[in-house]
Amino acid sequence: MATFVDRYPDEAKVVQASFAVAFIALGIGAFFGLIQALHRTNILRVIDSVDYYTLLTAHGVLLALVFTIFFLVGVFTWAIAKGFERPLPDIRLTWAWFGLMTTGTVLTAVAILAGLVPEIPMSADVLYTFYAPLEAHPAFYIGLAMFIVGTWMAGADWFLAYRDWRGDNPDERIPLQPFMVLTTMIMWYVSTLGVAVAVVFFLIPWSLGLIETVNPLLTRTLFWYFGHPVVYFWLMPAYLLWYTVLPKLAGGRLFSDPLARVVFVLFVLLSTPVGIHHQYVDPGIAEGFKFIAMTNTMFLLLPSLLTAFTVVASVEHGARQRGGEGYLSWLGALPWRDPAFAGMALAGLMFAAGGFSGMVNAGMNINYLVHNTLWVPGHFHMTVGTAVALTMMAGTYWLLPQITGKTVYSRPIGLFQVVLWFIGMVFMSNAMHRGGLLGIPRRTAEPQYQNFDFAAAVGSVGEIRMQIAFGGLLLFLSVVFFLFNVAATWAEDRVDTPVDDTIPAPLSPPSGAPLILDNLALWTGIAVVLVVLAYTLPLASIVTDSGLLGSSPGFPVAISLEALAEAAASALPHVSLDAAAGLRPLDVAAEAAETLEVSR
Amino acid sequence: MAAEPESEEMPTSAGEGAGDGASIPDTESIDDEGYVIGSGRAGVVRQIDHDDFDPIGTLVLIAIYMAIVGAMWIFMYFVEFLGGDLTVIG
Amino acid sequence: MRQLSPGLFLVLVAFTIPLAVEFRTVAGFFGFDLPFISMILFEVVLLAILTGVYVLGRLTPDEDTATTS
Ligand code: HEM
Ligand SMILES: [Cu+2]
């Protein structure tokens, strides 16, 4: 029985290469994660606190952008060839986007890591959100731009494959997996436009010194225009695996093909016009716009609930076919010993928990409780850090045999590894959430302010620190086991049938889905209209407020204390008496700021 | 979906025990040793199609989820809006 | 007794951890301030119960649930 690598040897090489880059990024990123977890809890400090931000930037970029997206392009390439049952149109194009993405990644990674070596005049400690006024070396932005253009080319590659397939099959429904790939890429094209504009028109010229200043709120808003859809970009390969692979691993069949299509279409429509929900505390954006973003966000609960239902029902179908009975005891009939199944199921469970904290983040009023606290990393280590990352690791145990023709080196190590990740994340993420409720900030190497006691009702800050450090250690070990297992699998000899790679037909077939669901142009059009509606006014008001290029120089800048003192001194006489008495404090601040502005 | 239109019929391609009816596979053969990743369908003891499948277990799980969300919402209402005693953040 | 596979056992072990970690919070709602060590003790108790179930299931498997993974 031939598997993917026998049928599509050229495509299999690209998938292998993409996975290899993803896993290297995972290894380095997880190592930095461990250092951070130990450093900020003051358990073990091997780096200088100043370098913390270099590592944090590398951790965010390597894991949230490189690992996830390289794995994504690998899975999507697999899904396109397998789904359309044909090789990609031109393998040179495929290698071209892979090469561009990889070159961009290397450039960006070098720019970040050079920050650790004082001799190299290069740094990019701007964190993976890279908006102004933090400024990086141009190589960082140029690398990112190459990376994104590479993903665009990958999308073009897959759409060309679609065109070829459509030519031969004019009346057929788009197979489900390619449908998921294509809709995800439409969302990606719509949303990366924002970050591309920010990087190409503002950040690159600014870092090269071609323009002096930028409007930080504008680049922030453009970043978050992309910053929410990117979370669905991470999530969609995981959803693809949950919808099409997990039911099979569980011994069942997908409950409903039409429902799966509806969910992906909803994500195309709703992913982008919500980005402002990351800016609830940004001054300069009117409350009304934030409220609209919140409302749209709540609509996004719909596809998430549909997914919960469809995926769980499909898994239950497997359990029942395997002899499961009862209201809950069917859960015991699932193939828990299978690391691919168990990993994805645990990932899904953790995603459900991440949904709880996500609802808190999404609510404008309660967001203020947790904004920029450690709660937020607690939340996204459950979502992207587990729902996505653990699904990808678990999926690897089923995909790697198909793209290499080799059986997985050790099933027990695999099972142990995915369970260890779950346990580690329970410790780390739970403690981060708690720490955030106490007000411990995120993104800081020195979270222990002297003269401030974080009051804990249950337990203590010390315990929270221990749990973060312990959880981080378990997570790192889990990655080590994973990488070992993968490397050992790669080193084995090829066999005839490394894995059962069939995917059974859905219970409710695609023929039941309304034809309009396959009308990709229509959904693209509606998505664009929704984006225009949600973003025109906020962007217009940001630009009219402080101009396209704004007035913010880059940070970090070398501040001379003398100039600062001078500015303060010259600002002092402007403080009028009644203001000093507290009657018009705002005006004082504004006046003082003006003087500062002038004297700089 | 992507593969195997013929598996609509659900042949026994997935392995032993996936036949028609309630043939219970030999326990030992699917026990710990020699389990291959991805062969969850080898443990299938009966075929259930769309009309016979009633996802009651899914309903139970989602009800549990909703109950937790509801309880936490009420809890938060106390913490945030009534400023009462019940609190985790002191 | 129901027979658990090693895989299911391992997954159940994982599930005990959030229970143990948050067990003190629940106690806190009812006014009991338990020390850190109680979390570890609670975890040990859960593990002991689970191990008991596992071992019993292996020694005296039920006929009809013997096919579970
Ligand atoms: C070995 C496993 C991991 C450990 C120990 C770990 C630990 C940490 C820690 C301690 C922080 C810093 C919190 C702060 O100072 O604000 C952090 C931030 C972050 N982590 Fe992880 N993490 C791990 C895996 C992951 C994975 C798999 C992803 C995503 C796929 C991820 C994405 C991020 C992101 C995006 C940030 C935020 C960076 C920023 O604030 O700019 N982490 N992680
Ligand atoms: Cu978001």
pLDDT range class, residue C32, cuts 50, 70, 90: confident
Question: Counting atoms of ligand 1 from 1, which one is nearest the CA of A34?
Answer: 5
Question: Counting atoms of ligand 1 from 1, which one is nearest the CA of A479?
Answer: 1
Based on the structure, what is the number of domains in chain A? 2
Residue A202, φ and ψ in degrees, nearest 5: -115, -55
Query: pLDDT (tens digit, 9 = 90+) per residue, A121-137?
Result: 888 999 999 988 899 99
pLDDT range class, residue B31, cuts 50, 70, 90: very low
pLDDT at residue B78, rounded to an integer:
72
The residue type of A320 is R
pLDDT at residue A585, rounded to an integer:
44
pLDDT at residue A548, rounded to an integer:
83
Residue A441, φ and ψ in degrees, nearest 5: -75, 160
- pTM for the model stands at 0.88
Last residue of a domain, one of A147, A172, A197: A172
Query: pLDDT (tens digit, 9 = 90+) per residue, A218-234?
Result: 999 999 999 999 999 99
pLDDT mean over C10-25: 90
Question: Beta partners for A275?
Answer: none
Domain boundaries, chain C: 6-60
Q: Is the CB of A379 inside a 6 Å radius of any atom of ligand 1? A: no
Ligand nearest to the CA of A380: 1
CB contact under 8 A, B32 and C5: yes
Question: Beta partners for A555?
Answer: A134
CB contact under 8 A, C67 and B32: no
Distance of alpha carbon A493 from alpha carbon A448, whole angstroms: 52
CB contact under 8 A, A427 and C68: no
pLDDT at residue B25, rounded to an integer:
43
Min Cα–Cα distance to chain B from C66, Å: 7
Assess whether A40 carries a catalytic annotation: no
C-alpha pair distances (Å), A322 with each of A242, A282, A419, A423, B21: 19, 52, 23, 27, 12
pLDDT mean over B78-88: 58
pLDDT at residue A528, rounded to an integer:
93
Tell me if A94 sits within 8 A of A15, measured CB to CB: no
Q: Is the CB of A15 inside a 6 Å radius of any atom of ligand 1? A: no
Point out the residues of chain A with pLDDT beneath 70. Answer: 1, 449-451, 455-458, 554-600
Q: What is the DSSP string of B12-78?
A: GGG-TT-SSS--PPPTGGGSSTTPPTT-GGGG--S---GGG---HHHHHHHHHHHHHHHHHHHHHII
**Which of the following is catalytic: A261, A381, A434, A465?**
A381
CB contact under 8 A, C11 and A430: no
pLDDT at residue A399, rounded to an integer:
97
Q: Is the CB of A68 inside a 6 Å radius of any atom of ligand 1? A: yes
In a domain, A506, yes or no: no
Last residue of a domain, one of A172, A207, A234: A172
Assign A373 to helix, strand or coil: strand
The torsion angle over the Cα atoms of residues A535, A537, A538 and A542, rounded to 10 degrees, is 130
Assess whether A379 carries a catalytic annotation: yes
Tell me if A577 sits within 8 A of A244, measured CB to CB: no
Kindly list the partner chains of chain A, i.e. chains with 3 or more CB atom pairs below 8 Å: B, C
Q: Is the CB of A64 inside a 6 Å radius of any atom of ligand 1? A: yes
Query: Which residue of chain C has the CA closest to B31?
Result: C69
pLDDT range class, residue C34, cuts 50, 70, 90: confident
Chain A neighbors of C68, CB-CB under 8 A: 322-324, 332-333
Domain boundaries, chain B: 1-53, 55-90
Assign B5 to helix, strand or coil: helix
Classify the complex by whether its ipTM is higher than 0.85, answering yes or no: yes
Distance of alpha carbon A510 from alpha carbon A498, whole angstroms: 29
Tell me if A354 sits within 8 A of A387, measured CB to CB: yes
Residue A256, φ and ψ in degrees, nearest 5: -150, 120
Q: What is the DSSP string of A381-418?
A: HHIIIIIIHHHHHHHHHHHHHHHHS---S-HHHHHHHH
**Which of the following is catalytic: A7, A322, A411, A443?**
A443
Domain holding A590, by residue range, is 560-600
Query: pLDDT (tens digit, 9 = 90+) per residue, A267-286?
Result: 999 988 899 999 999 888 88
pLDDT at residue A556, rounded to an integer:
64
Nearest CA to ligand 1 atom 16: A443
- Which residues of chain C have a Cβ shorter than 8 Å from any chain B Cβ? 5-6, 25, 28-29, 66-67, 69
**Which of the following is catalytic: A59, A228, A253, A277?**
A228
Query: Which residue of chain C has the CA closest to B28?
Result: C67
